[in-house]
Amino acid sequence: MATTEFGHTLRRWRDRVSPETAGLPTGGRRRAAGLRREELALLAGISVDYVTRLEQGRAANPSEQVVEALGRALRVSADEREHLFHVAGLVPPGQGTVPAYIPPSVQRMLDRLTGTPVAVSDASWTLLLANPMYTALMGEHHGRERNAVWRNFLGSGTRVRHTPQSVRKLEAAQVAGLRATANRYPADQRLRRLIAELRAGSDRFAELWESGVLDRHDAARKTIDHPRVGILTLDCDLLSVAGSDLRIMVYTAEPGTEDAERLALLAVLGTQTLVG
């Protein structure tokens, strides 16, 4: 059965990924060099129970999103990603759909930026991967909330402080960006469902969509109201990966400032939270 082979594959590939490779703490005694189930669950953003049931063949039909998340957590190559989809009984996403594959080189770059909040999103602004510092800074997002456009128009919003002018600019940039992505990937059904839901649920989104607004998401200084360390004003840079539509968002503080001190404090608090 495909789910049993999927479970065996997860178990084998989990054994070959060390905590250090995945950017996790390595304290305490370990029976194996690979990832524990709870560590894989943490990295993939799913429950430990679900990982257990998948490995034991007691859970069938994992979704495309779950397989994609597990593949990222396991640091798979492009060929291995395709194999993981096949043993899950799914067809790997093909041309015409928004790419969600993160190359190992990008993974390694994130691993080295342990003291810097970094996140990777796809072309539809769905969060694919965030390092612990980014999660400590911006909070955890699950389900629909992982899409920044959905979160800003229909969800809980963000910790970033906005003026009425900056909100309007952000909304226009997000709608314009989503329209451009839809034009590049017309066969992506998930993207079409997202846009339909936004148009139906938000009058503001529908208005901007119908207007054909054109704008761009630029780098900026952002003020973040953090519940534990207070207010931080950080530079936010948006990087692209050659040959990919991945978007890498990086937050940094000017050295020697109170913002840099608060970011350093957040690194300690975030690590404590992760270990605990």
- Give the CA-trace dihedral at 165, 168, 169, 173, to 10 degrees: 170
Nearest of 12, 8, 68, 16 to residue 43 by alpha carbon:
68
CATH number (domain holding residue 53): 1.10.260.40
Looking at the structure, tell me whether residues 47 and 165 fall in a common domain. Answer: no
Residue 219 confidence class, pLDDT cut points 50, 70, 90? low
Domain of 17? Answer: 2-87
Token pair recorded at residue 166: 């900056």
Looking at the structure, tell me whether residues 148 and 121 fall in a common domain. Answer: yes
Q: What is the pLDDT at residue 272?
A: 58
Number of domains in the chain: 2
Looking at the structure, tell me whether residues 68 and 140 fall in a common domain. Answer: no
Q: Please provide the average confidence, as pLDDT, over all residues in the chain.
A: 88
Using the 3D structure, point to which of 56, 87, 118 is the last residue of a domain.
87
Nearest of 79, 72, 127 to residue 102 by alpha carbon:
72
Looking at the structure, tell me whether residues 73 and 125 fall in a common domain. Answer: no
> Is residue 24 classed as helix, strand or coil in its secondary structure?
coil
CA distance readout (Å), 243 to 34, 101, 211, 240: 31, 12, 30, 9
Looking at the structure, tell me whether residues 60 and 139 fall in a common domain. Answer: no
Looking at the structure, tell me whether residues 198 and 72 fall in a common domain. Answer: no
Looking at the structure, tell me whether residues 70 and 116 fall in a common domain. Answer: no
CATH number (domain holding residue 226): 3.30.450.180
As a whole number, mean pLDDT of residues 202-223 equals 85
Looking at the structure, tell me whether residues 152 and 34 fall in a common domain. Answer: no
pTM of the complete model: 0.77
> Is residue 102 classed as helix, strand or coil in its secondary structure?
coil
